[in-house]
Amino acid sequence: MTVDTTFIDRLRNAGVGPNDSPELRLQKSLLFFATGLITLASMVWLLIYWQLGPQFSSTLPFVLQLLLVGNLLVYLKTLNFQVFRVVQLSLFLFMPFVAQWSIGSFITASGISLWALLAPIGAILFIGPRESAAWFFAYVFLTTLSGVFDYYLAEPLNLPAYKVPPQTTAFFFALNFAAVSSIVYLLLRYSDTEKHRAQQHLQEAHRLLQIEQERSERLLLNILPGPIAERLKNSTQTIADGFAEVSVMFADIVNFTRVAEGLTPQQVFAMLNKIFSCFDELAERYGLEKIKTIGDAYMVAAGLNAASRHPTESLADMALEMCRLLHHDFSINEMHLELRIGIGTGPVVAGVVGKKKFIYDLWGDTVNIASRVTTEGLPGIVQVDQRTYRRLCDRFDFQEPQTIYLKGKGNMVVYRLIGRRAGTAGSR
């Protein structure tokens, strides 16, 4: 970027930097606006005075404009806003009194010192209310000093040197009051408009932040159960809980590796995503906690929350519904896949593992039993351990018990779930 382009950008943006706070941005913008208004007003004031009043020297108004613009250019070069605003406010304060003293008295100068009131008002806007007190006291002091000069010097010395017609004096009194009042009004209006605009930006930023927060909340709740997500947000402690009795289900797609061999990666993903998304909906409907997917296996737990009054029954209902879904709905199960499902019930430990890419997982013998009961099951069959059977036998029908060998556990009695017993309603 060239120097000229940089200078023009600073001029166009009132010297506002990307790291400036909203308050500092407003102060810079207001001071630029005030400098422009006063420079323009001084030119108009001088032209009108030449037309209606005596032809006094134009050096003082011209010097004021040069000082205002010169200080502005120095600021754009150095970006030292502290020096810039002190010099500009000093010019606002002292130059009107110098102009009045050069013309004569309050009366003959038509109250031109009123322009100095812009200094303390500007200090409120450009610096702050507390710091503006010194500028106001300086204005009062210079006004009092001018009054003393008029009282003791003007009359005895028969001042002013310029003879101003009463009509011109009256006109410029009105002009000075109207001009100063207009500039004060415009500055306050501009300040309020910019503050309102900044507030709208903050509200919009807050709205976008809320949207992002809600999106993050939904993402977190897709990974963790609601109570666990709240604990994770509010505490840095390790999350690990013991549960006396939880029912754990694994669902494994039969011959998935052989079926996937003839498919592209995109087709494999689409197939699993379609099936597991339907399982997610079932888990939500029955008030169960999906724990994770492991390749082509799906893991769900019941009893980790209070969403279901009879968690083991809800898990059995979901298992049967999963089998029916794959057996009858070929829009979801285009490859006519089958499931092996196993359920185990007992104590587990549940918690969040890791600091990054963390998951909520279950550990314990119950998880191992559910996994191995699934592995030793038959396609399209829901197989449960003895503890789960005792939970369900009053409301569900089962085949005769089977004794199977489970690796690491030895012989174990399992039961194959047929369905709900007639006359028993599903519980969720």
**For residues 106 and 156, is the Cβ–Cβ distance under 8 A?**
no
- Which of 177, 211, 245 is where one domain is finished? 211
Cβ within 8 Å of residue 146, ≥6 positions away: 97, 100, 101, 106, 113
Position 224 in a domain: no
Same structural domain for residues 202 and 268?
A: no
Same structural domain for residues 275 and 337?
A: yes
Same structural domain for residues 65 and 199?
A: yes
Scan for tokens 């309050």, then name that residue: 106
Same structural domain for residues 167 and 115?
A: yes
CATH of residue 354 = 3.30.70.1230
Q: How far is CA 34 from the centre of its chain?
A: 33
Same structural domain for residues 250 and 198?
A: no
**For residues 405 and 385, is the Cβ–Cβ distance under 8 A?**
no
Same structural domain for residues 244 and 200?
A: no
Same structural domain for residues 70 and 169?
A: yes
Position 145 in a domain: yes
Position 218 in a domain: no
Same structural domain for residues 324 and 277?
A: yes
- Which of 195, 211, 227 is where one domain is finished? 211
Among candidate residues 294, 313, 316, 320, the one with its CA nearest the CA of residue 375: 294
**For residues 186 and 123, is the Cβ–Cβ distance under 8 A?**
no
Same structural domain for residues 287 and 179?
A: no
Position 228 in a domain: no
Position 221 in a domain: no
Same structural domain for residues 143 and 256?
A: no
How far apart CA 343 and CA 312 sit, in angstroms, is: 9
Position 413 in a domain: yes
Same structural domain for residues 313 and 415?
A: yes
Q: Which long-range contacts (CB under 8 A, 24 or more apart) does 34-37 make?
A: 34/88, 34/92, 34/118, 34/122, 34/125, 34/126, 34/183, 34/187, 35/68, 35/72, 35/88, 37/183, 37/186, 37/187
Counting the structural domains of the chain, the total is 2
Position 226 in a domain: no
The one-digit pLDDT tens for each residue of the chain (428 residues) are 444 556 555 655 667 777 878 778 887 888 888 888 887 877 777 777 666 655 555 667 778 778 888 888 888 888 888 898 899 889 888 888 888 887 777 777 777 888 888 888 888 888 888 888 888 888 888 888 888 877 666 554 444 445 556 656 666 666 676 777 777 767 777 777 777 787 788 888 888 888 888 887 777 777 777 777 777 777 666 677 889 999 999 999 998 888 888 889 898 898 899 999 999 999 999 999 998 988 889 999 999 887 778 899 999 999 999 999 998 888 888 888 899 999 999 999 988 877 776 778 899 999 999 999 999 989 999 999 999 999 999 999 999 999 998 888 889 999 999 999 887 766 55
**Domain range spanning residue 204?**
3-211
Cis, peptide link before residue 160, omega less than 30° from 0: yes
Same structural domain for residues 246 and 148?
A: no
